[in-house]
Structure 1
Amino acid sequence: MSTWHGIEESRFYAYRNWTNTKGKLCGSYAAAVLIAYYQDYRQELQLPAYIRQPFGEGENLVAYLRLFIQPLGNSTVTYQVSSGISLFCQYHHQKLWARSTPIGGLTRVIKRLDQQKPVIVGINRLLGSTYGNHWVVAYAYRVDDTGKYFLKVHDNWGNYRKEIPAKWIMGTVSFP
């Protein structure tokens, strides 16, 4: 088996119980995992304590992000997730802003993971996703012997170390 490149799986253990149990809120949950990682390990975000303390729980963070990303609770597209994260960061006086790749994005995923930066990945049922249309957070990638790429993701459904084929990628959201 090929070697994984990116971030250590153990860093996402703390977020293992951050699961989307309320329907179509996977965009907000994926954003929460991304932001929590930046707060915990990259120290590039300082959130108010009432939203989330470093290495703390994610309930309040998800609730606040939902106001910016999914106020009506509907499914999201790449632009909604990236602009919602950017507005959230701006509202809380953070210098980070999210950028998106609306179609494809494997190159962006590899670049960010090689920089030790997780990436929100939109996966699509028409591309084979067994999750249907869904948002996950990728933190590692590998290439098999046949040249196919795979991602290790936090799936927001209770598996923080799920392996998925990169061919499912529909779009990405990440910090620069």
Structure 2
Amino acid sequence: MTANEWIGIDAARFYPYRKIITKSGYLCGTSAATTFLCYYQDHLMPTIIPAHIRAKGSENTAALQDLLRVIIQPFDFPTLSFQVAHGMSRYFSLFHLPLRARQTPLGGLTRVIKRIDQGKPVIVGLMKLKGSTYGNHWVVAYAYKKDAVGNYWLKIHDNWGDYQKVVPASWINGTISLA
């Protein structure tokens, strides 16, 4: 890896998800899961979302987001990694998919790099106490780089309308990916 070289998925692949936003409350876990599953459906696993919920390539994600809200965050409370991972695993069980979500409750840069190197996005928790200007927030990371002084950076879909935001990897506090 050369310093300041982005490694990962092209940001243009996340443009179709720019309208997946957290509209109210603490639903960023649901929004991040929606973005993550849509990417998987469009680029990695077409059957991960039933066609009657979202057609592959569609920007209409309302039905999926509503379903995930009920499964992951029925009370609109902030979430921890195990809640988002467990909710996603419940989603997979509901549709008889042989998948489960995996969480790393603390840290997670190693998991982020591993998944992105495999061509897969990863849901990342950002933590206010680690400096996150988002506060505690769930996003989808899809690229990383190491700068000249050794700091890592992530390119993320922030579910606040920016699908190519850059944040320091030092803000990571947990990850969710597929096992």
TM-score bracket for the superposition, by shorter chain length: over 0.9
Find 1:67's aligned residue among 49, 67, 70: 70
Number of positions where the alignment pairs a residue of Structure 1 with one of Structure 2 = 176
Give, in whole Å, the separation in 1 of the partners of 2:177 and 2:169: 16
Give the TM-score of the pair, scaled to structure 2: 0.95
Report what 1:29 is aligned to: 31
The runs of at least 4 aligned residues of structure 1 exceeding 6 Å deviation read none
The secondary structure found in structure 1 opposite 2:160 is coil
Deviations 1:148-172 (A, max 9, x none): 0000000000000000000000000
What residue is the counterpart of 1:81 in the other structure?
84
Per-residue CA deviations over 1:80-136 (Å, capped at 9, x if unaligned) read: 000100110110111121100000000000000000100000000000000000000
CA RMSD, 1 decimal = 1.0
1:145 pairs, out of 143, 148, 152, with: 148
Q: For residue 17 of structure 2, what is the aligned residue in structure 1?
A: 15
Q: Note the alpha carbon deviations across 1:49-81, whole angstroms, 9 max, x for none.
A: 231111112111110011110011111000000
The aligned runs of 1:101-140 (5 Å cut-off) are 101-140=104-143
- The residue number in structure 1 matching 2:99 is 96
Percentage of matched positions with identical amino acids: 51
Contact 2:130 2:170 in 1 (8 A): yes
In structure 2, C-alpha distance between the alignment counterparts of 1:102 and 1:45, rounded to whole Å = 28
Q: Which range moves more in the overlay, 64-73 or 149-158?
A: 64-73
Q: Which residue of 2 aligns with 1:47?
A: 49
Contact 1:35 1:45 survives alignment (8 Å): no
Unaligned runs of 5+ in 1: none
Moved more, 166-175 or 47-56: 47-56
SS of the residue 1:33 aligns to: helix
